[in-house]
Structure 1
Amino acid sequence: MALQPLSELPQEPLTINRALLSVSDKTEITKLAQALNKAGVEIISTGGTARKIREQDIPVTDVSEITGFEECLDGRVKTLHPIIHGGILGRTSHQADVDEMKRLDIDPIELVVVNLYPFKETVAKGDCTPAIATENIDIGGPTMIRAAAKNFAHVGILTAPAQYEECISEIQQKGNLSFAKRQEWAKHAFNHTASYDSAIANYFNTLDDKSDQLPEQLNISLTKSQTLRYGENPHQGAAVYGNQSEFIDCFHGKQLSYNNFTDVDAALNLISDFWDSKPTCAIFKHTVPCGVASDEELSNAWKKAFATDTMSPFGGIVVVNEKLDIETANAINEIFTEIIIAPEYSAESLELLQEKKNRRLIRIKKLPNSNESRQYRSIFGGALSQDADLKTVTKDELETVTKRTPSEEEIENLLFAWKVVKHIKSNAIVYAKNNQTIGIGTGQTSRVEASEIAIAKARQEGLSLEGTAIASDAFFPFPDGVEAAAEAGAQTVIQPGGSIRDEQVIDAADELGLSMVFTGNRHFRH
């Protein structure tokens, strides 16, 4: 028989005579069973679900009574039987199916209520082994869900306790289930099983002996957490997907926008690299840091970060790595700041900052970086994926390549600048001194131009470049980059190295009396 267009499927309301309930999460299942029983629905169930329903003195028939075959293999086989799946997949509007079901003594099942073994929750536990994970792979559940969702024209499918109230309401108010609601539930069901299978596939990808390689199949399944008013621009529709609430709590102010989310992401990634450092403050505008500083006091860190660029922070984002105190809050409050991000807030700072109703205040609950982080970017015809750039460098890993060795103070400046330049768009240049950014040049097609912009910004703010460290996210391809840095007042350079002209660059640094170190890795951000 040829497949029918959706518009040709039977769209009549569906009366429920028999329902199959078999759930792992038993939240509210007895409430649903009571409503079904009151409506005269015959309830079929399995194992623990049946016991739970019977505890409330609700009549229930075991699946084994229907199939004439007992549950076996430690409960692995319960519902995988033609009597069950024939009842779910039978098209009661199609006479040939009706006749065959009568011949085989199969009665229709009009409602299926199933949720799955907690695979995601199980593998998230630190003590989960492959054996435990495997036992939590549901087989009968997804099979029933897919069967019922496929036959949504004749069957209702519920996969989450949150849907039970809708179902109860439909039955109590109308005495049946509408086609529109069945179609909506089927959509949720297929998304549910897709997410479940993605989690299993991704887990098995981690068990591969070649787990250091990116998987052959990219499986991404994210639930929409909220619809956004628009995307980067008002004519673009947008939504955010995933579990952002696991990482942040936006507890005050308007809903975050698309651009806000990208800014917050950039801010969280930078502050992650300074999490165990002394008090640090970073100011962002359009995902780019316009000032970063560390100090013994957070209020001083703010002043130093703001001094880097006193124009750009208006309407920007501020992130700190420790509890936001009232002194720092007062300083931030002097200019218009759209978002403030901190792990904690003092009571006094909250009272002050919440006076502005539209300002967003965000509490950091969890840092985004982990050893297993991967990044994704959509492109024509697909996506790019890569390991997140979690690379850091320590003092002992620096390779001094010039005749002059950097002093301890210079090394501190170099490491600070290197942490910051990692989060600047390429080509990226950062001048820093005393744990403060002095000049930042970002996103230029020429590394020298990036340096010139950083120098110009520093001079515009009246900041001295004398004795600064300069960090470059990639190697200097020509000596002109270090020559310009030295002319501006820089005394020490940190860069990846790796250019075919490294020797020329090193010679230039030696002639200028600079110290220079190589890190052996770059931090391109495109």
Structure 2
Amino acid sequence: MPAAPDFPPSPDKVVLKRALISVSDKTGLIDAARALADAGVELVSTGGTKAAIAAAGIPVKDVAELTGFPEMMDGRVKTLHPKVHGGLLGVRDAPAHAAAMGEHGIGAIDLVYVNLYPFEPTVAAGGDYETCVENIDIGGPAMIRSGAKNHGYVAVCTDPADMAEVLAALKAEGGTSLALRKTLAARAYARTAAYDAAISAWFAGQLGQSAPPRKAIAGRLIQTLRYGENSHQSAAFYGFEHRRTGVATARQLQGKELSYNNIADTDAAFELAAEFDGPDAACVIVKHANPCGVATGPNLLEAHRRALECDPVSAFGGIVAVNRRLDRAAAEAIAEVFTEVVIAPGADDDAVAVFAAKKNLRLLVTEGLPNALDAGETFRSVAGGFLVQSRDTARLTAADLKIVTKRAPTPQEVEDMLFAFTIAKHVKSNAIVFARGGQTLGVGAGQMNRKDSARIAAMRAADFGLDLKGSACASEAFFPFADGLIQAAEAGATGVIQPGGSIRDEEVIAAADAAGIAMAFTGVRVFRH
């Protein structure tokens, strides 16, 4: 490990004399370059950035004038040179560094403004292999890292917001403070880390590696939260560089700041609403990450009414997600019940006006639904590491079902089974869901055994006057014993859907036959912890 040299303390203020600018995203470039030039800062630049600055009539020097080498190899080699990196890494007040810079004609660079080749957007746009590789920046990250390491003297900017902070400091203080340079350095390393994470993830995908030897995850801060699950925990909300449509892409039109629990519950609600991407309106009501009512209907007003019937008590203080644009009628019905968050693909002006009277209600719009079939990964932390798995994109049709009982289900029972199983996929295990006619009737979640989940689901239905006779019952994992199925049959279910696969399947099938109900195996488990 290299020993720390005995360098003199870094100056608190550095007056900018030379800046190196090389940006892919040229947003605000000319204004920034003009402000620097007006402040007497010499500008050095490369390729298209230099051409854009020069075209605006701003004095700028080509990096080739520093290095004595032209850009070569299709622009791959232009800044990888001692006169660039020496100017970034040289410790001005260290005698040996100053002597080396003087001996080799290396001028100090006080500011480097670099944003990187658009690798992430190129991948997101479906670029082919060669195009993606060509958009891997080499010189940019190298300059960012060099300047950030020498933050005692160099300010590093990686996006227009950073540049704005430097220009404000230049105007107010005549230079950059050490505190600002440290802050910019921390951001710079985070940016190159995120960039490398994106590249490594892309390469793993190209190689078909679902579990590469190292896994890097990077996100951009969306919001610093007031607290986490509890008031003594700190928390923040991050989004991936290119995000699936959902709570991380939503615009908040009104209401208090979202909390940690609001965000988690809203995500759970909207992901379930996205399962219903057909012609019917759908409404999902979630409380503590579990659906307490889900229904479809010809319109959102009817879908909400039917979803609320399932458990109007738990709906108090819940999250409402819908699968289509909110209208006034649905908004008025939702507003009658205290609701923490409403999330929708859009909202009519009349609907927004209705919610405006509820100052604490958060209204989020996303301009689309999450793609329920989108491939991707989910993450969970554990002590000393994290778990990664592919997203559960299981979506069944009637053709996927294996009927294992003597009585075959009716077409309506099959439809109800599939609806119930879709809901069960989003209920914490052990999960039991009773449903009929596109409406949940009872939900049993998170119990330590399946019989209790069935009993609780039936009890909730009875509490709210919902008759389970002729309903479908879904279990997201197999029945290990016949008792859970018998509980469902006694409650009134005439159709049962479950994955199958228990060593006691024959015992469970026999119980279903004895009760005269139809049962289908999916062969797919949708367990959710």
TM range (shorter): over 0.9
C-alpha displacement of 1:424: 0.8
After TM superposition, list the pairs within 5 Å mapping 1:22-101 onto structure 2.
22-101=22-101
Alignment of 1:280-299 (within 5 A): 280-299=282-301
CA contact (8 A) 2:23 2:116 kept: yes
The residue aligned with 2:452 is 449
One-letter amino acid of the counterpart of residue 350, structure 1: V
Query: Which whole-Å CA distance do the structure 2 matches of 1:47 and 1:348 have between them?
Result: 51
Question: Aligned equivalents of 1:18 and 1:302: distance in 2?
Answer: 62
- Using the alignment, how far apart are the partners of 1:334 and 1:174 within structure 2? 55
The C-alpha deviation readout for 1:410-448, integer Å capped at 9, x for no partner, is 111111111111111111011111221111111000110
Contact 1:246–1:365 (CA under 8 A) maintained in structure 2: no
Q: 1:83 to 1:344 in 2, by over 3 A?
A: closer
| Structure 1 contact 247–365 (Cα < 8 Å) conserved | no
Aligned pairs for 1:145-294 within 5 A: 145-208=144-207, 210-211=208-209, 213-242=210-239, 247-294=249-296
What's the counterpart of residue 439 of structure 1? 442
1:497 corresponds to: 500
Q: Which residue type is aligned with residue 479 of structure 1?
A: A
SS at match of 1:273: coil
Counterpart of 1:398 in structure 2 is 401
Number of aligned residues: 522
Change (3 A) 1:464 1:169: closer
Give the structure 2 partner of residue 2 of structure 1.
3
**Rounded Cα–Cα distance in structure 2 between residues aligned with 1:207 and 1:409:** 44
Change (3 A) 1:241 1:276: same
Q: 1:88 to 1:330 in 2, by over 3 A?
A: closer
Matched-pair contact (CA < 8 Å) for 1:249–1:365:
no
1:186-213 C-alpha deviation (Å, 9 max, x unpaired): 11111111111111111111111x34x3
Q: Distance in 2 between matches of 1:459 and 1:150?
A: 66
Q: Secondary structure at the match of 1:149?
A: helix
Q: Distance in 2 between matches of 1:53 and 1:328?
A: 53
Cα shift readout 1:262-286 (whole Å, capped 9, x = no counterpart) = 0111011101111215222111111
What letter is aligned with 1:132?
T
What letter is aligned with 1:238? Answer: A
Partner SS for 2:496: strand
Q: CA deviation at 1:42?
A: 2.3
Q: Secondary structure at the match of 2:14?
A: coil
Instruction: Name the CA distance, whole Å, in 1 between partners of 2:163 and 2:249.
Output: 30
Residue 307 of structure 2 is aligned to residue 305 of structure 1:
yes
1:132 is matched with 131
Q: RMSD of the TM alignment (CA)?
A: 1.8
Of 16-25 and 88-97, more deviation after overlay is shown by 16-25
Provide the C-alpha distance between the structure 1 equivalents of 2:300 and 2:66, rounded to a whole number of angstroms: 69
Q: Check whether the contact 2:262–2:340 (CA below 8 A) recurs between aligned residues.
A: no
5 Å-filtered alignment, 1:296-445, equals 296-368=298-370, 369-445=372-448
| SS of 1:157 mapped into structure 2 | strand
Q: What secondary structure sits across from 1:493 in the alignment? A: strand
Distance 1:107 1:472 in 2: 71
Deviation at 1:370, TM superposition (A): 4.3
Change (3 A) 1:277 1:378: farther
Matches of 2:172 and 2:392, distance apart in 1? 55
Which amino acid in the other structure matches residue 367 of structure 2?
A: K
* Structure-1 separation of matches of 2:513 and 2:257: 54
Distance 1:173 1:278, change over 3 A: closer
State percent identity of aligned pairs.
Answer: 47
Contact 1:375 / 1:388 at 8 angstroms: preserved in 2?
yes
1:180 & 1:88 partners in 2: Cα distance?
A: 18
Secondary structure class of the residue paired with 1:525: coil
Q: Secondary structure at the match of 1:114?
A: strand
Determine helix, strand or coil for the equivalent of 2:503: coil
Residue range with higher mean Cα deviation, 107-116 or 364-373: 364-373
Unaligned runs of 5+ in 1: none
**TM-score, scaled relative to structure 1:** 0.95
Distance 1:171 1:333 in 2: 50
TM-score by length of structure 2 reads 0.95
2:464 and 2:172 map into 1 onto residues whose CA distance is 69
**What is the identity, as a one-letter code, of the residue corresponding to 2:420?**
A
Measure how far apart 1:75 and its partner are. Answer: 1.5
Q: Aligned-pair distance for 1:384?
A: 0.2
Tell me which moved more, 241-250 or 62-71. Answer: 241-250
Cα–Cα, structure 1 residues 52 and 509, in superposed 2: closer, same or farther, change >3 Å? same
- Corresponding position: 1:108 with 2:105: no
**Secondary structure of residue in 1 paired with 2:85:** helix
With over 3 angstroms needed to count, the CA separation of the structure-2 counterparts of 1:173 and 1:512, relative to structure 1, is closer
Question: In 2 relative to 1, CA 158–432 (structure 1 residues): closer, same or farther, beyond 3 Å?
Answer: same
Please tell me the residue identity of whatever aligns with 2:326. L
Q: CA deviation at 1:4?
A: 6.1
